[in-house]
A and B are shown apart, each in its own frame.
Chain A
Amino acid sequence: MDYFEVFALPRILGIDLSSLEKTFHELSRRYHPDYFSTAPAAEKTKAVRMTALLNDAYRTLRHPVRRVEYLLSLHGFKSDGSKVPQSLLMEVFEINEQLEEVKAGRASAEQTGSLRAQIKEKRERFDAELRQASLAWDELVKANASEPIRKEHLGKLAEILSESSYIRNLESELEGKGKGH
């Protein structure tokens, strides 16, 4: 069972979060291992596996980026946030150079601020593109588009995703996130 099937959803990207949560709560009440603690071992194990699947599905589908990643992985696309996307090839040297300056503590507050703004602007641009492309995907699904057309669109989604995750990585490096706390 894939994550969309868990929630009885078609493979679409525009998901209403409050109805997703409602279904999540209903299914939790049906499958959660807390309700099977006195049941036979086999049923208990099944409850744990079912709930794990439900939680994995909810964690993935409620997040707009993870949702796209998952859809792509279902269609055999591999995401790689470390590869420099073609469209960023020109700017990436400059951004990286500035980032090194910031990390080494040589950048002024002004320079850091400008880099932050530059990265944020790009991230927002990609986020908007991703939203657009996601909506377009849903239209194709609704219109029952042919397999080659779908594949082509998924390719486009994959490209935007790799751009946006590349920028996201730069952003978290700048904020020092994911470096432990």
Chain B
Amino acid sequence: MEKARIGGWLAAPVFVAVLALCIAPLAILFAYSFFQVDFVAIVTDPTLKNYARIAASGTYRWLIAKAFLSGLAVTALTAVIGYPVAWFIAKRVVHYKSALLTLLLVPLYTGDMVRIFAWRVLLGAEGVLNALLMWTGAISRPLDSLLFSPLATHIVLTYNYLPFMVIGLWLAFEALDDRLVEAASDLGAGTWSAFRRVTLPLTAPGLIAGGLMVFVMVVGDYLTPQLVGGASGVTIISAINDLFGTAFDWPLGSAIAWTMLAILFCFFAAAVVAISKSSLGRAMVGGEA
């Protein structure tokens, strides 16, 4: 088959690029996770000690758990905030659909650093949010704790990744046939019941896909907790960074990194199974391939 041969030639450079720039580095990282540090040299006798250290350390266990809890919390927040937005863009906008979607992405173009700094100004003691709260009389003195807190981290994380959730959900809403919702109400379903029995199950693949994107990015986010989290900004990712930098323990850093990756792959596999198990997901994959 000539077509298959051309397909192979098209795919080959992509495979090579990802192999060289992503899979090979991660494989070496994996190898390092079984090494050990002796003063300033790396001993290459394979050992499981690094993984044992992670399992024994309450700090690392807590940091790993915190990363995934943050991921789940921000995923849930973006889902709740983004669901009506995606519905609105898909079902209530006719002419300016692509403009609205692009406008949602434009703030991301300002760059991580500049945007995070803008949030520091917004949330700071003399910031806009404090001024607003004082003006409405909700508080009498500026809240110092607004910035450099877990709250600030989660506000900015939600802000950063909301557009990805909206796009995942929007795709699902575009694929949802309005007549199915009409059919539900024709058969006696009220607004809430039609949502629960038809709309929600049929947009679930978009929710899972968008959720997975947000989750992965929140878990892997390095800058946001560092720059607006203050004392709470220590994360498992910043711990990995320290181990490769000042602390100089590459093997332990590699082991933590691979622990994170293994857990992330589990979430990913679960999401893929969840999407492909739903008959709708199967239809979507089959229809597009």
A binds B: no
Question: B residues touching A (Cβ–Cβ < 8 Å)?
Answer: none
